[in-house]
Amino acid sequence: MPISRKNGDESFYYFESKEIRSFTNAKKIYVLCLEEIESWHKASEEHYFPCGLQSLFFIDFNDDRMMRSVELEEMCGQALAESWAVEGYDCLSDEPLGEETGGETGEEAREARSKG
| Per-residue pLDDT reduced to its tens digit, 41-71 | 999 998 899 999 999 999 999 999 999 999 9
Report how far residue 21's alpha carbon sits from residue 94's, in angstroms, rounded to the nearest whole number: 33
Report how far residue 70's alpha carbon sits from residue 45's, in angstroms, rounded to the nearest whole number: 11
Read off the pTM.
Answer: 0.72
Condensed to tens digits (0 to 9), the pLDDT of residues 61-103 reads 999 999 999 999 999 999 999 999 998 998 888 899 875 545 5
Tell me the residue type at 95. Answer: E
